[in-house]
Amino acid sequence: MTQIDPLHRVLVVEDEPAISESVSYALETEGMSVEVAYNAPEALSRVRRRPPSLVLLDVMLPGGSGLDVCREIRAFSDVPIIVLSARDAEADKVAGLELGADDYVTKPFSMRELIARVRSHIRRAARSGLMSETNEVLRGGPVEMDVDAHEVRVKGGVVPMRPKEFDLLETLMRRKDRLVTRETLLSEVWGSAYYGDTRTLDVHIRRLRHKIEQDYSNPQHLVTVRGLGYKFVDAP
């Protein structure tokens, strides 16, 4: 069996926890890393922020059809998309393929078959060179972030980051010197379920400041924009 590169990330777009959890578990067992989006807007913002290796896309979603998500992703990305359609929804399969999906799997599906298809589409995309094999590195102030290796260096030394800290820092660094609102950060890093719980965001910002700022009580790079959000600035 060919090993799938553990850095391959699959975005599972599915609002039913029973399905998203079992699929996530199965893919992680195969050595892939998995993110879950529970609705259409969240799916789009995740693909925009950080294109995954493959999108598993359910058709029936709250806040919009998976088919619309498919069309919108195709407007800016060639990421492989597998549509999960309801049983006997022939129209969905046809529409999905016409909108640019690469494949579809009908619910209820066999996990073994789903995984086989995921692997085959990821391999195919890698072969056709759609996926960049070089590591992307973001730089700002004292921070160097190797996005694919999931490694952050501050002044050259590796600093361990929890997954949400990494995602938050990445989101801010990708928009260097620009305000990123609290709403955007919450929805892109935690998903829309966290709207309202803004303490989570502040706690993570505080942890990041401890890790990247010379003096965390007087931040020079992770700057508060009062009442609105945060921004990452290169140099004070």
Complex with Ca ion: residue 73 or 205, whichever CB lies closer:
73
Per DSSP, the three-state class of 181 is strand
Q: With binding defined as CB under 5 A, does residue 170 bind Ca ion?
A: no
Q: Tell how far CA 157 is from the center of its chain.
A: 26
Q: With binding defined as CB under 5 A, does residue 105 bind Ca ion?
A: no
* Minimum distance, C-beta of residue 68 to Ca ion, in the bound complex (Å): 14
Complex with Ca ion: residue 24 or 171, whichever CB lies closer:
24
Q: With binding defined as CB under 5 A, does residue 15 bind Ca ion?
A: yes
* Minimum distance, C-beta of residue 46 to Ca ion, in the bound complex (Å): 17
| Token code pair at residue 232 | 């990452």
Within 120-149, which residues bind Ca ion (CB under 5 A)? Answer: none
Within 32-91, which residues bind Ca ion (CB under 5 A)? Answer: 58, 60
Complex with Ca ion: residue 88 or 177, whichever CB lies closer:
88
Type of residue numbered 152:
V
Residue 181: strand pairing partners: 229
* Minimum distance, C-beta of residue 71 to Ca ion, in the bound complex (Å): 18
Angle formed at CA 136 by CA 135 and CA 139, multiple of 5 degrees? 130
d(CA 2, CA 8): 14
Per DSSP, the three-state class of 116 is helix
Residue 222: strand pairing partners: 232
* Minimum distance, C-beta of residue 61 to Ca ion, in the bound complex (Å): 6
- Helices marked H in 59-162 — which ranges? 66-74, 90-98, 111-127
* Minimum distance, C-beta of residue 107 to Ca ion, in the bound complex (Å): 9
# residues near Ca ion by CB under 5 A:
3
* Minimum distance, C-beta of residue 15 to Ca ion, in the bound complex (Å): 5
Starting at the earlier edge strand, list the strands of the sheet with 103-106.
Answer: 33-37, 9-13, 54-58, 81-85, 103-106
Q: With binding defined as CB under 5 A, does residue 165 bind Ca ion?
A: no
Residue nearest to Ca ion (CB): 60
* Minimum distance, C-beta of residue 156 to Ca ion, in the bound complex (Å): 46
CA distances from 6 to 32, 107, 233 (A): 5, 27, 32
Complex with Ca ion: residue 36 or 73, whichever CB lies closer:
36
With contacts defined by CB under 5 A, name the span among 10-18, 22-30, 116-124, 211-219 that binds Ca ion. 10-18
CA distances from 150 to 22, 183, 208 (A): 25, 24, 15
With contacts defined by CB under 5 A, name the span among 15-23, 35-43, 145-153, 158-166 that binds Ca ion. 15-23
Interface with Ca ion (CB under 5 A): 15, 58, 60
